[in-house]
Amino acid sequence: MKLADLRTPALVLDRAAVARNTVAMAARVRQHGVRLRPHVKTAKCVEVAKLATEGQFGGITVSTLAEAEFFASHGFRDIIYAAGLSPGKFDDVIQFRREGVDLKVLTDDLDVARALSQHARAAAVKLEAFIEIDSGQFRAGLDPEAADLVPLAKLLHAPPFLTLAGVLTHAGQSYHAKGAAAIQAIAEDERRALIRAAERLKEAGLLCPVLSTGATPTATLGTRFDGLSEIRPGNYVFYDLTMHSLGVCRIEDIAVSVLASVTGHNKKAGHILIDAGFMALTKDQGAHDFLPDVGFGYVMDERLRARLPGLSVTEVNQEHGMIAARTAQDFERLPIGARVRVLPNHSCATSAMYSHYNVVDGATETVIGRWARCAGW
């Protein structure tokens, strides 16, 4: 199978780029003496998770119970479900533990902790829970100085059925910070928040076995990881234009792209039409703040070797993408039927529009595999 045989739009994954990204992250964690628990929410793909966990301890992070089910069924057993647990999902979590999956959960709430403890005891199933700490994202989690921290830890420390796994944070604010210095400062906030929370727990006589941090920007550019147990970056397996716009990766590190066909020329309006609209690309414009010409993605040649000078997808409807032409040559370069690759603003979002990846190995024509994604919740 060749790229030319794929019906467009199609999602293309460059295995060589994924391998480079995962090897680079493996080198970083080895250098810093911290373990790597990749977040699988970006790729949602067993083959990618295998590359990311190669040589690591094998733990992963998931964002949905559907991911937990999918990866558990493929042999991944040490899993953190890293979104705040609500009571409606307690029974699902119990079921994972009954099936021998070491699924750990997350909360920042006293009532949830109390209810979870009762639930674990009633079910006679052993659960482990993390306390979510806020390190400056202001989304969820307790401030490391919060009055609730020790009471929450005490509720979560109810052996034998409920055990405190540790403290966990995600510095999502790093997705809006540009440059190594800014991101390194956030990485330090992330690290210090956990160390401070763990310190307070120890002072209260509580065990805090794991300090789990990480986001792709801080994991890629951070310089200090001492005192941490593990990091959980996810996006780095693919990177994207948002990460590029922050200075976290190079264009050539971006491992997924959308293969699209030119379907029309509108010379009067000055744009080239492609068959990749918002269903194929999403409306995500995450790179826009620091890459104002990004539109809905950079337009690259069919082999993904280089950006076509100045070209972006400038507008999207459901199945129509529009590329503003800059010169008459743009129309000549992209005749109807020509194919392009579009680099996404946000690889987590764009990949989710597809059931599978068409895998290539570098700038070649040959499709070497079809890797499935999991979907849903």
Interface residues with its own copies (CB under 8 A)? 7-10, 41, 63-65, 83-89, 92, 108-109, 111-112, 138-140, 143, 172, 261-266, 268-269, 273, 275, 278-280, 282-284, 317-320, 322, 335-337, 339, 348-349, 352-355, 375-377
Shortest distance, CB of residue 77 to its own copies, whole angstroms?
Answer: 21
Shortest distance, CB of residue 144 to its own copies, whole angstroms?
Answer: 13
**Residue labelled with tokens 């040649």:** 301
Q: What φ, ψ does residue 302 adopt, rounded to 5°?
A: -60, -30
Shortest distance, CB of residue 259 to its own copies, whole angstroms?
Answer: 10
> What is the biggest distance separating any 2 CA atoms in the chain, rounded to whole angstroms?
73
CA distance to 38, 135, 143, 212, 213, per residue, from 82 (Å): 11, 15, 17, 10, 11
How far is it, in rounded angstroms, from Cα 15 to Cα 2?
15
Compute the C-alpha angle 219/224/226, nearest 5°: 110
Shortest distance, CB of residue 156 to its own copies, whole angstroms?
Answer: 15
Nearer to its own copies, 16 or 115 (CB): 115
Shortest distance, CB of residue 194 to its own copies, whole angstroms?
Answer: 18
Nearer to its own copies, 26 or 52 (CB): 52
How far is it, in rounded angstroms, from Cα 336 to Cα 348?
30
Shortest distance, CB of residue 23 to its own copies, whole angstroms?
Answer: 25
CA-based nearest residue to 322, from 344, 343, 296, 345: 296
Shortest distance, CB of residue 87 to its own copies, whole angstroms?
Answer: 4
Nearer to its own copies, 34 or 217 (CB): 217
Stretch (H or E) spanning 15: helix 15-32
Shortest distance, CB of residue 188 to its own copies, whole angstroms?
Answer: 22
Nearer to its own copies, 91 or 199 (CB): 91
Shortest distance, CB of residue 141 to its own copies, whole angstroms?
Answer: 8
**In 147-261, alpha helices (H):** 149-156, 180-203, 216-221, 241-245
Nearer to its own copies, 19 or 150 (CB): 150
Nearer to its own copies, 21 or 42 (CB): 42
How far is it, in rounded angstroms, from Cα 186 to Cα 199?
20
Cα distance between the two ends of the chain: 32
Packed helices 149-156 and 180-203: angle between N→C axes, nearest 10 degrees: 70
Dihedral sign of CA atoms 110, 111, 117, 120 in order: negative
Q: What φ, ψ does residue 127 adopt, rounded to 5°?
A: -120, 155
User: How many CB atoms sit inside 10 A of residue 8's CB?
Assistant: 17
How far is it, in rounded angstroms, from Cα 305 to Cα 263?
22
The C-alpha R_g of the chain, in whole angstroms, comes to 22
Nearer to its own copies, 184 or 261 (CB): 261
Nearer to its own copies, 229 or 347 (CB): 347
Nearer to its own copies, 161 or 331 (CB): 331
